[in-house]
Structure 1
């Protein structure tokens, strides 16, 4: 799993129990999945279609740093299926896992559009092939 983003848990991210609010964490996951998909599919018109069961395993406190990891499960014709793990950088504990997040590539008309991708591409490889 590649961990791409870190978030600092601030007072506005907490629930009534003084721990990281699950809804805030899910928003971070959704944003990370969207950013990852936009970069992979080279299209800013990408939407979340589905998130599988979400398994909360531990939490984070104010001041903790959490890391969001994303891996590609598969490339579909118009979609990209990802999985996600969020871990507490301070305690090393997994906070949540999401087995499947399906992101859909859209055309200018807002309808699913084939993306033509079959494997993970890194920006450094794209730049090398353009040179």
Structure 2
């Protein structure tokens, strides 16, 4: 099996780490560094990597000012507890970017919200 480790540039790794942990109902923890953190699933699989803008010389992570954060990117997550994730999402933002609805292409429920750095986060049920 092959897996993708999606890495996004963020202003504050610890803040984004807490936000995503709260969204996915994971126990509290801390990122490994102030410039980099990995959100892991219960089985240890990497869900998302958070990298502070400008911390290293990665060409696409030098500065949020070079491109609008999230432009051309949808963070798409499938969750096994859609209703709990939706409740937690409503606690994290004032308004969802897209209210819950049935996706006609997948036949599953989904909603969307923006994370603290402006990334568009789509949450979809597994069933």
TM range (shorter): under 0.3
The structure with the greater share of residues assigned to strand is 1
Q: TM-score, normalised by structure 1?
A: 0.27
Query: Normalising by the residue count of structure 2, what TM-score does the alignment of the two structures yield?
Result: 0.27
Flag the structure with larger Rg: 1
